[in-house]
């Protein structure tokens, strides 16, 4: 039986409908998982029930994260936030980590994972990092790898991909900054921007800043390996 994978959804500011990029669904299906969309549930009872039923969580991309969740006021460059999404995803991530169920986060999902365990982040890398940066909001097709990420040797990401350097796509203006003592940075761009974080104590809790779901459709092997490893972890109960 395929593992049940909860996929977080996005929502417009008017909160009239949930949306999921179809590449996210395709990536989970291709790797052998059964995707289910998760609405924003706000009660502890509902969150516990979801956590008990799914085999793993796939935290997807989307709008910015409320900076008050990591002790900061809104920066002028902060974009749209959906507070209910932040609340639900962070609460669910905390619950799943307690249960040691696998979590894969991409882009915003990587940041949400980090914030849930006590890390922090840049609200806007271009104005908050005092150095010249790469183009992290690429002007190339979504599936095209526009810059490189150096992978930490011995990390989970390194074990999964077998690569010391990955070519990735890039669509973000926020990024993880500090990580908790239970996590580590496992990938960084050449300009030092954090591109991957992972747990040092859980079976599988990995966040990547890029969008591997868009690269899977082009047959990118490292991207495929990330999803396959996630699904395998979800099968191991």
pLDDT at 16: 85
User: Choosing from 107, 147, 158, 198, which is the catalytic residue?
Assistant: 107
**Which residue in 60, 44, 75 sits closest to 11, CA to CA?**
60
Half-sphere exposure of 185 (CA within 13 A, CB side): 17
Phi, psi of 171 (to 5 degrees): -145, 70
Give yes or no for a contact between 230 and 35, defined as CB atoms under 8 angstroms apart.
no
Surface-to-core class of residue 229, CB atoms within 10 Å of its CB (0-12 exposed, 13-18 middle, 19+ buried): buried
Band of the pLDDT at 96, cuts 50, 70, 90?
Answer: very high
Domains of the chain (ranges; CATH) run: 4-235 (3.40.50.880)
- Cα four-point dihedral sign 226, 193, 77, 178: positive
Which is catalytic among the residues 147, 202, 211, 234?
211
Tell me 75's DSSP state: P
Secondary structure in 3-state letters for 2-31: CCEEEEECEECCCCCCEECCHHHHHHHHHH
Average pLDDT over residues 123-147: 95
- 98: annotated active-site residue: no
Asked if 234 is an active-site residue, the reply is no
Closest CA to 57 of 21, 100, 23: 100
In this prediction, residue 14 carries a pLDDT of 79
* Number of other CB atoms surrounding residue 181 within 10 Å: 9
Contacts of 154 (CB under 8 A, 6+ apart): none
pLDDT digits (tens, 9 = 90+) for 158-171: 999 999 999 999 99
pTM of the model as a whole:
0.97
Q: Which is the catalytic residue, given 147, 202, 213, 234?
A: 213
- Secondary structure of the chain: what % helix, strand, coil (to 5)? 35, 25, 45
- Biggest alpha carbon distance in the chain? 50
Asked about 107 being catalytic, the answer comes back as: yes
Q: What is the DSSP letter of 69?
A: G
- The model's pLDDT over 156-205, given as tens digits with 9 standing for 90+, comes to 999 999 999 999 999 999 999 999 999 999 999 999 999 999 999 999 99
pLDDT value for 15: 78
């Amino acid at each position: 039986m395929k593992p049940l994978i909860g996929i977080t959804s996005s929502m417009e500011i008017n909160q009239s409908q949930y949306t999921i990029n179809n590449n996210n669904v395709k990536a989970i299906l291709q790797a052998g998982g059964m995707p289910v969309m998760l609405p924003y549930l706000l009660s502890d009872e509902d969150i516990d029930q979801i956590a008990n039923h799914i085999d793993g969580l796939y935290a997807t991309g989307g709008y910015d994260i409320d900076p008050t969740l990591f002790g900061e006021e809104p920066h002028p460059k902060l974009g749209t936030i959906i507070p209910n999404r932040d609340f639900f995803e962070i609460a669910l991530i905390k619950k799943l980590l307690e249960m040691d169920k696998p979590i894969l986060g991409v882009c915003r999902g990587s940041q949400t994972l980090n914030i849930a365990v006590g890390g922090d982040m840049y609200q806007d890398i271009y104005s908050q990092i005092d150095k010249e940066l790469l183009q992290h909001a690429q002007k190339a097709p979504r599936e095209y790898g526009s810059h490189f990420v150096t992978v930490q040797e011995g990390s989970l990401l390194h074990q999964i991909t077998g690569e010391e350097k990955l070519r990735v796509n890039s669509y973000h203006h926020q990024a993880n900054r500090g990580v908790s003592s239970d996590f580590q940075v496992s990938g960084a761009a050449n300009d030092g921007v954090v591109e991957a974080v992972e747990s040092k104590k859980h079976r599988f809790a990995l966040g990547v800043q890029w969008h591997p779901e868009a690269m899977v459709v082009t047959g990118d092997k490292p991207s495929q390996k990330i999803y396959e490893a996630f699904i395998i972890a979800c099968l191991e109960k």
